[in-house]
Structure 1
Amino acid sequence: MQIHSSAYKNSSPFKNKRVIVVGGSNSGAQILAEVSKVAYTKWVTLEKPAFLPEEIDGRYLFNQANEKYLKKKNTSNTLQVSLSDIVQVASVKEGLTRNVFKDYRPFSSFYKNGVIWQNGSKEAFDAIIWCTGFRPYLNHLKKLNIVENNKVVTNHTRAIKEPNLWLVGYGNWTGFASATIYGVGKTAKITAKEIIDSLL
């Protein structure tokens, strides 16, 4: 069984199974924390994952990234962290207390019952959960002939080829950090103003 994290709902289908979780970012860590309660798990990441200090949350990360994007000097001497580091939400904190975040480098291939590790050893698994990132879903826009390389060319959030269309929350091409819950609010406000101005 193989699923992408976008299709993951809960840990029930993995109860008492042997599961690999692939991906060293937030979704991988959070899903691993949950599935490891009901299954035997191994966590596969490209490199050793980094966990943020407990006091660092999404708002802090966005503000820091926004300052960098706008090339502002950070004068508050705050801790410099990466947007790719893992935020210690409640499930991750709980997983850390259980010591479930033991990371392994990628396997080299599959065999009938599981995976073959880099050293040639085989290990059986029942399922793999791929936490390998997301791409915007744009199939509903393809009939407009405006999708190129899985994105729409925009001026801020307004589609250039279809000026009566604005896109919010699809990724950095629709506003910096707009694919994040915290970041989307900023681009949404700008977009609302643009739409109002276009109707005047």
Structure 2
Amino acid sequence: MDRPDHDRASAFDADSRRRVQVLVIGGGQAGLAAGYYLRRAGLDFAILDANPAPGGAWQHYWDSLRLFSPAEYSSLPGRPMPHQTGAPYPNARHVAAYLAAYEDRYHLPVHRPVHVTGIERSPDHLTIHTSADTWHAQAVVFATGSWQRPFVPAVPGRELFTGHQLHTTGYRRAADFAGQRVVVVGGGNSGAQIAADLTAVTETRWVTRRPPHFLPDSVDGRALFELATHQVRAHAAGDTHTGVASLGDIVATAPVRAARDSGLLAAHPMFDRLSPTGPVWTDGSTWDCDTIIWCTGFRPDLAATRALEDPRIHLLGYGNWTGPASATLVGVGRTARTAVEQIRTLLG
């Protein structure tokens, strides 16, 4: 998917002092949205991405994953996502291709693959150390997402289990587990989707800490974005109690609905511990299995920063705590625009 512009951006000049006004760390959807507004603001900037190819985390998702929203409700600022032929809800590969085309369209200076290893502060600039070079910037935007920091809970006996364990990040397709007994742990969208995906070829047990709470079948990403927009306006008016959590936690996509309605997606309570052969519940019941898939979320990939209190450092795209819907394609543009406006004011 690389184009000549990517090759030029990635060809490091050994004599360059690597000085920019703004350095964006992360070349996924949040980093590209920041780049769009930085370009419009006329600021000198660069984007560092750890991936070898464009597409952000979308290039790593499982094969059956589809967006919750149609393409027109899943676009970054300035360029609508094209429709995917025969698919009202685009798949992850389509999104990755869209992000690659977005980079080219706006000639965003993405350097890859580059890993940031640390930041040092001084009164007049920030020094960013990477696997390839050292950069100096007046402001930094962290847009690294969370895909590189999967979270697995510390369940007793996890190290004793002799079967296969993997996180959502390692799942690609149901066929890889055909004929197995698989436990899927996690009551969010990833857990529901992967469990539904597996039911056709495995004996699957879906385990959740709380009973799953499905959104109404009529609700998809379009409605969720409208609700998030209403939440932003309500908060601006002083209403801090408005939210979408009361509706549910899991979007009932077509495969999830089919598995749920056929009785194949019935959730079981979380087990107490693991034995060498599988889960053990508090009442002593067991279920031997071949594989456990931990769909238990992520943590922000922010290990490189030690200066969150520094106004020159901005965080973008890490979920509601960096702006409502900021971890979504359509929602990240709003917070990216705000961040760039603040940076422009800071830099004078």
How far the C-alpha of 1:108 sits from its partner, in A, is 1.8
Alignment partners' CA distance in 2, 1:44 and 1:2: 15
Aligned length, in residue pairs = 179
**Identical residues among aligned pairs (%):** 41
Aligned to 1:161: 310
Cα pair 1:115 1:124 within 8 Å, conserved: yes
Alignment partners' CA distance in 2, 1:47 and 1:101: 14
Aligned to 1:46: 209
Equivalences for 1:1-200 in 2 at 5 Å? 1-68=164-231, 70-71=234-235, 82=246, 84-139=248-303, 141-142=304-305, 145-146=306-307, 153=308, 160-161=309-310, 163=312, 165-200=313-348
Distance 1:84 1:132, change over 3 A: farther
Distance 1:94 1:73, change over 3 A: farther
How far the C-alpha of 1:162 sits from its partner, in A, is 5.9
SS at match of 1:59: helix
Q: What one-letter code is carried by the residue in structure 2 that aligns with 1:18?
A: R
How far the C-alpha of 1:103 sits from its partner, in A, is 1.0
Distance 1:84 1:181, change over 3 A: farther
Distance 1:182 1:118, change over 3 A: farther
SS at match of 1:166: strand
Alignment partners' CA distance in 2, 1:16 and 1:73: 54
After the TM superposition, which of the residue ranges 172-181 and 123-132 deviates more from structure 2? Answer: 172-181
Q: What one-letter code is carried by the residue in structure 2 that aligns with 1:137?
A: D
Q: Which has the larger radius of gyration?
A: 2
How far the C-alpha of 1:19 sits from its partner, in A, is 0.5
Alignment partners' CA distance in 2, 1:99 and 1:197: 56
Cα pair 2:326 2:332 within 8 Å, conserved: yes
- Per-residue displacement from partner, 1:120-173 (whole Å, max 9, x unpaired)? 12221111111112211123x24xx22xxxxxx3xxxxxx4261x432102333
Q: What one-letter code is carried by the residue in structure 2 that aligns with 1:185?
A: G
Q: Mark the runs of 5 or more structure 1 residues left unpaired by the alignment.
A: 75-79, 147-152, 154-159
Alignment partners' CA distance in 2, 1:83 and 1:14: 33
Distance 1:37 1:73, change over 3 A: farther
How far the C-alpha of 1:62 sits from its partner, in A, is 3.6
Alignment partners' CA distance in 1, 2:344 and 2:238: 33
Using the size of structure 2 for normalisation, the TM-score is 0.46
Alignment partners' CA distance in 1, 2:340 and 2:296: 32
How far the C-alpha of 1:195 sits from its partner, in A, is 3.7
Using the size of structure 1 for normalisation, the TM-score is 0.76
SS at match of 1:186: helix
Cα pair 1:25 1:84 within 8 Å, conserved: no
SS at match of 1:47: coil
After the TM superposition, which of the residue ranges 44-53 and 89-98 deviates more from structure 2? Answer: 89-98
Q: What one-letter code is carried by the residue in structure 1 that aligns with 2:316?
A: V
Q: What one-letter code is carried by the residue in structure 2 that aligns with 1:35?
A: L
Q: What one-letter code is carried by the residue in structure 2 that aligns with 1:161?
A: D
How far the C-alpha of 1:194 sits from its partner, in A, is 3.0
Q: CA RMSD in A?
A: 2.6
Alignment partners' CA distance in 2, 1:178 and 1:126: 37
After the TM superposition, which of the residue ranges 17-26 and 89-98 deviates more from structure 2? Answer: 89-98
How far the C-alpha of 1:41 sits from its partner, in A, is 0.3
Q: Mark the runs of 5 or more structure 2 residues left unpaired by the alignment.
A: 1-163
